[in-house]
Every structure is written in C-alpha cells, then in structure tokens.
Amino acid sequence: MTGDAALIDRFLEMMAAEAGAARNTLSAYETDLRLASDASGGRLAQADAAAIGRVSDGWSALAPATVARKAAALRRFFAFLLDEGFRADDPGIALPRPGTTRGLPRTLSTGDVDAMFAAITARVARDPPDRNDLRLSALFELLYGSGLRATELVSLPRGAVASDRPYMILKGKGGRERMVPLSDRARAAVAAWRDHVPADSPWLFPSGKAHLTRVRLYQIVRALAAEAGIPPDRISPHVLRHAFATHLLEGGADLRALQAMLGHADIATTEIYTHVDRARLVRLVNERHPLIDAAPVRP
C-alpha cells in the first residue's frame, strides 16, 4: 500500500475537487490526519481498530468539539481508502462519537437592527455626506440584507452589484457559486458608495493596495453597534449574517431557499436556524399565551 503521506495528499485532492471543501477545512483535515499518522508510527492507512483506538485515546484531554472534528476527518479518510480500494475494511467504527451540543448562534432582534440602521440614516443625512458613511451604509445593507460572509463582502469586485439586477452571482466557500438576492435599498446604497470608489479599483471596498480587511470590517461593525446603544461584544459581521437568516426564517422563508441564499453545502448547517426559531416560539408561548395567568386545572 502507498504510504500515509501520499494517501493523505490524494484524499485532500479528492476533497477539494469532488466535495468542494473549503481551504480552512482542508487545512484542518491535513493537520488532523498527519498528527494521527505520526501517532500511529506512519501506518495510519494500515491501522486496525485497536490501533485507531490507541490514537483516539490520546485525545482524552481535548474538548468534545475538537475530538468530533478529528474523528470526522479520520472517518472520511478511511471511507476514501475503502472506496478507492486501498483497504477492504473500514476501522472508523472504533473512533469516538462525542455527544457535542451545538450552541445556538448569537443573533440580534429586529429592534437592534433598526437601531443600527437609524444611526446609519442619521449619518448619511448629514450635508455633505461623508464618504465613509456611504461606505458604512453599503456594507450594512449587504451584510444584513443579503447575509454575506465577511470575506465575501470585503472582497467583492467593483462591478459585483448592478443597479438594474436584483441579484448577484457570488463565489463563496469551496468555490461554490450561488445567487444572492439584493434589495432595492442595497443596490441604491452600493450605487451611492461606488461613485466614490476610484474607477481603476478592482474592489468595491478598496483599502490601500488591496480591499478592506475582515479585521477592519469587524471594527466598523462594533463601532456602529456602540453608537446605536448595543453592547459591542454582542455583535460581529457573522452575527449580522445570523440575524439575516433568523429574521427570514421567522418571516416564513423556506429552509431550502435559505440554504441556497446562505451558500450552505449541507442543509444540516442551515437547520440550526430552526432551533433559533423554535426557541423564539417557546418563549412566545411562555410569555404571551392567554392561559399563562389562568389557574391550573386540579385533578
């Protein structure tokens, strides 16, 4: 059988080409597999269930989420070896399956969002308007109005948003393309900002010789939150993406449509928002149901 290093490389190539795995995912898989190979004396690909058990025993001090990630990487690797004929069995059954509880994503109320947009409106209304306020308006309209990831937003090409087209085609995680809806407000905000972007800039949000960084976007978002009276530690660009998804679902959006808009490869990732919505419904029942104040029925 080919050695671990070559098989890991082939597995990563498959994950990139066929599964469309993102760069960060590939990097994590590579690290986990190479560490497991070292722990098994360079014989991970030939390891039996007992050997795999010894490797996973070394994870005992790690957080459940980390163990789950490492086990998932090894399971996919062994499934690949089985599919490609490098093994006749799959020892992945010996890997642990820690019971990790996925926390609900932090989000914002519609009142929080209204407060931030009110602060933006007050800024843009100043005469003459500051170009940074126009940029702020465009950034927030796209973050909350279209649910973009921070990296997707800051790296948008100058011509990504057309004034006569209510959507844009975006290449997101794993190189997957998706159609992103654009509100009239977002297109108007981008058009007002683009008038201040140099014509030779390849980016919609340029900064120096490149585009706006994710760190700077994070700082901009937190500064506006503070101005709107929202504790800055409650907000980030990704929280605004969560708010986009949560509020759409609360408004009756279809889960499959939401998956497409967010660019999730797996519907299971999108389903976390059903838990957010369910939590809201439970809270509504506990706080607003007409029987709350009624005396309990005694047997």
Residue in 23, 26, 56 with CA at minimum distance from that of residue 40: 56
Q: How far apart are CA 123 and CA 119, in angstroms?
A: 6
Total residues belonging to the chain? 299
Q: Supply φ then ψ for residue 270, to 5 degrees.
A: -70, -30
20 φ/ψ sector (left φ>0, alpha ψ -120 to 50, else beta): left
Single-letter residue type at 199:
A
How is residue 158 written in tokens? 């100058």
* Residue appearing with tokens 């409106």: 121
Give the H or E element holding residue 288: helix 272-288
DSSP states of 114-168:
HHHHHHHHHHHTSSSPPHHHHHHHHHHHHHHHH---HHHHHT-BTTSS-TT-SEE
β partners of residue 206? 211
Q: How far apart are CA 254 and CA 232, in angstroms?
A: 31
Answer for the pair 78, 87: CB distance below 8 angstroms, yes or no.
yes
Burial classification of residue 124, based on how many CB atoms lie within 10 Å of its CB (0-12 exposed, 13-18 middle, 19 or more buried): middle
Cite the active site residues. 149, 173, 238, 241, 264, 273
